Structure formats: structure tokens, C-alpha cells
């Protein structure tokens, strides 16, 4: 197998794993997508994908990291989440990975709820915080999916033009 084909294959794997990471919180989704795109550009000696396109893709990647952080924190802070709720949501997200799709959805909520209960809040307030945190995470995933498709669209357009 030609070495360039190996690079393109690795780039595709990085992009696909990165796309999974947009939804799976344990993986750095769009940074992996960006790394795959940079590898593909490099493998083609930057003939199809140049510096300007890579710069835009890099900015979109940085934007995705900011969106990921801000959406989660904004959702939690809006409902008065404590630091323990944020820690609980993070732990719940990681633990949820082991329980499939249901765990991915329920983990952050259950973790934030547990964190608020640990903080000494009443069940009603803790539930509201858990829901607010979960909604923030979902909004973040939706926004990151939009950025992922924008990045893929720009990359494909630049590749074929």
C-alpha cells in the first residue's frame, strides 16, 4: 500500500472518530476531525486544501471547544448549579458511556442531580439543576454537530474546487 494512501486512510479514521466524539463526550470530537483534515491536506501536499481553508477550519474547531464549554456551563449556571453539580455532570457523563445510549442521555442529568443533592439542595431544586445542565449539554452537542457539518462541507468543497 502506498504511504499516501495510508495517510488518507488515517485521516479518514480521525475524521470518523472525531464525528463520533461530537456526540460521545469522552472524545475530543472536532479537534480530531480537524486533525484528520490537516493530515489529509498534508498528505496531498496542500494542493487541494490550502492554508486559508485550514485557518478557517482551525477557527471553527476553536469555536467548537468554546461552544462545548459555554453551553454546558451556561445551562448549569442558569439554574443555579453548584460546583458539585458540574462535577457530578462530568462524572455522570463518563459513567454514562458504559451504559450505552441511555447512559449518554441520563448520565449528565443523574450526575448533576447527585451533585446538587450532595451540595445539600432539596430534590426539586436538584432536579431542576440536573435538567438545566442536561439541556445545556444537548444544546452544545447540537451546535457542535452544526459546526462539524460546516467543517465537512467546507473541506469537501475546497477539495473538489
pLDDT (tens digit, 9 = 90+) per residue, 131-144?
887 888 788 888 88
Q: Is the pLDDT of residue 1 over 70?
A: no
d(CA 26, CA 18): 11
Q: How confident is the model at residue 6 (pLDDT cuts 50, 70, 90)?
A: very high
Residues in contact with 28: Cβ distance below 8 Å, sequence separation at least 6, in sequence order = 18, 21
pLDDT at 54 over 90: yes
Distance of alpha carbon 74 from the chain centroid: 16
The answer to whether residue 52 scores a pLDDT higher than 80 is yes
Q: Are 21 and 44 in contact (CB under 8 A)?
A: no
Best-predicted range by mean pLDDT (35-44, 78-87, 96-105, 138-147): 35-44
Decide which of 68 and 102 is more confident. Answer: 102
80 Cβ neighbours under 8 A, 6+ residues apart: 125, 129
Sign of CA dihedral 56, 28, 102, 88: negative
* Cα-Cα end-to-end distance for the chain: 27
* 75, pLDDT greater than 90: no
pTM for the structure as a whole: 0.78
**pLDDT of res. 106:** 85
Q: Which of these, 47, 43, 26, 65, lies nearest to 151 by C-alpha position?
A: 65
Hey, what's the cell of 16?
A: 470518523
Q: Which residue has the higher pLDDT, 74 or 88?
A: 88
Confidence of residue 34 (pLDDT cuts 50, 70, 90): very high
* Cell numbers given for 110: 443523574
Is residue 65 scored above 70 in pLDDT? yes
Provide the pLDDT for residue 27.
77
C-alpha cell at 41: 491536506
Amino acid at each position: 500500500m502506498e504511504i499516501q494512501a495510508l495517510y488518507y486512510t488515517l485521516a479518514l479514521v480521525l475524521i470518523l472518530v472525531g464525528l463520533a466524539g461530537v456526540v460521545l463526550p469522552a472524545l475530543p470530537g472536532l479537534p480530531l476531525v480537524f486533525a484528520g483534515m490537516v493530515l489529509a491536506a498534508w498528505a496531498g501536499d496542500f494542493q487541494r486544501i490550502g492554508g486559508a481553508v485550514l485557518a478557517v477550519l482551525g477557527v471553527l474547531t476553536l469555536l467548537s471547544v468554546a461552544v462545548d464549554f459555554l453551553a454546558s456551563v451556561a445551562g448549569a449556571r442558569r439554574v443555579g448549579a453548584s460546583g458539585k453539580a458540574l462535577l457530578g455532570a462530568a462524572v455522570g457523563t463518563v459513567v454514562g458511556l458504559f451504559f450505552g445510549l441511555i447512559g449518554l442521555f441520563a448520565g449528565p442529568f443523574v450526575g448533576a442531580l447527585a451533585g446538587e443533592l450532595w451540595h445539600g439542595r432539596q430534590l426539586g431544586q436538584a432536579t431542576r439543576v440536573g435538567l438545566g445542565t442536561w439541556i445545556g449539554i444537548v444544546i452544545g452537542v447540537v451546535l457542535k454537530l452544526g459546526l462539524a457539518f460546516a467543517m465537512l462541507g467546507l473541506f469537501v468543497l475546497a477539495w473538489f474546487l
